[in-house]
Amino acid sequence: MNFKGGDEGLNATVYAELRKRIVTGHISPAHELSTRGLAGELGVSQTPVRDALSRLSAEGAVSIRSKRRVRVPEMTSERFDDLLRCRLLLEPEAAALALPLLKPADMERLREMEAKLSAAIAQGDAAGYMQSNYDFHFTLYRVQPQKTLTQLIETLWLQFGPYMRVVFGRVSGAKLNDSHQHALDAIKAGDVAALRKAIADDIADGMGLLGRTGLTANDSAPRP
């Protein structure tokens, strides 16, 4: 990581790093973050860390409990359903907008990400799954020109990433209906309806199936 530059550049770099950790699930739900600990780990002062955490709090990714303690919110059934509904509304649209703009280099990268994703699922590699899944979707979504749409989708991923990482680790042996290859087939055919369906199916089978499994497990767990 490169933390050189002025205050604005430093704040942006720290924010990007913490954002990446949250969206790929490297920080788990209910995990408390210490601004001092993060600053020491990143080799910066607490000021850019606080700035980054404030931005992430505004995006719903963390809950600030005090100046020094920040927590990643736990998932609830109501919040889960809300996030799932929003993803199903926004992501198929982003994919459809990107379809006519995709170049051969984009397709090659998508194929590489799909291969890594399939390998991660087969190996039960939670970290590999989260990173490859993120890379696949946002390689596709960022091709389309509606930047606000992409930002809204990223905000949703920030809120469910930590939870999905934990759930995948619990049920990694379960067979997922991986719809990424269906998405690639739809892109190759130029079939926008099939692409919309593949993305929606991926969200429902990934976030929907795994996520609801985790919520059911939490609901049935004995309370202290």
pLDDT of residue 123: 86
Predicted local confidence at residue 87, as pLDDT: 95
Enumerate helices (H) and strands (E) in the chain, giving the number of each. Answer: 10, 3
d(CA 53, CA 33): 10
User: The whole model's pTM is what?
Assistant: 0.84
Name all domains of the chain by residue range, CATH numbers in brackets: 7-71 (1.10.10.10), 77-220 (1.20.120.530)
Q: What is the pLDDT of residue 222?
A: 41
Looking at the DSSP assignment, which residues form a beta bridge with residue 216?
none
Contacts of 82 (CB under 8 A, 6+ apart): none
Which residue has tokens 């995709």? 102
Measured from the Cβ of residue 72, the count of other Cβ atoms closer than 10 Å reads: 23
The predicted structure's pLDDT at residue 187: 97
Mind listing the pLDDT tens digit of every residue in the chain (224 residues)? Answer: 545 555 678 899 999 999 998 988 888 787 788 888 899 999 999 999 999 999 999 999 999 877 667 888 888 888 888 999 999 999 999 999 999 999 999 999 999 999 999 898 888 888 888 899 999 999 999 999 999 999 999 999 999 888 888 777 666 555 566 689 999 999 999 999 999 999 999 998 767 666 676 675 554 444 33
Question: How far is Cα 87 from Cα 202, in angstroms, rounded to an integer?
Answer: 11
Q: What string of H, E and C letters represents the secondary structure of 120-185? A: HHHHCCHHHHHHHHHHHHHHHHCCCCCHHHHHHHHHHHHHHHHHHHHHHHHCCCCCCCCCHHHHHH
Q: In the prediction, which pLDDT does 116 show?
A: 93
Euclidean distance between CA atoms 185 and 195, whole angstroms:
8
Q: What is the pLDDT of residue 224?
A: 38
Q: Please tell me the predicted confidence (pLDDT) of residue 172.
A: 54
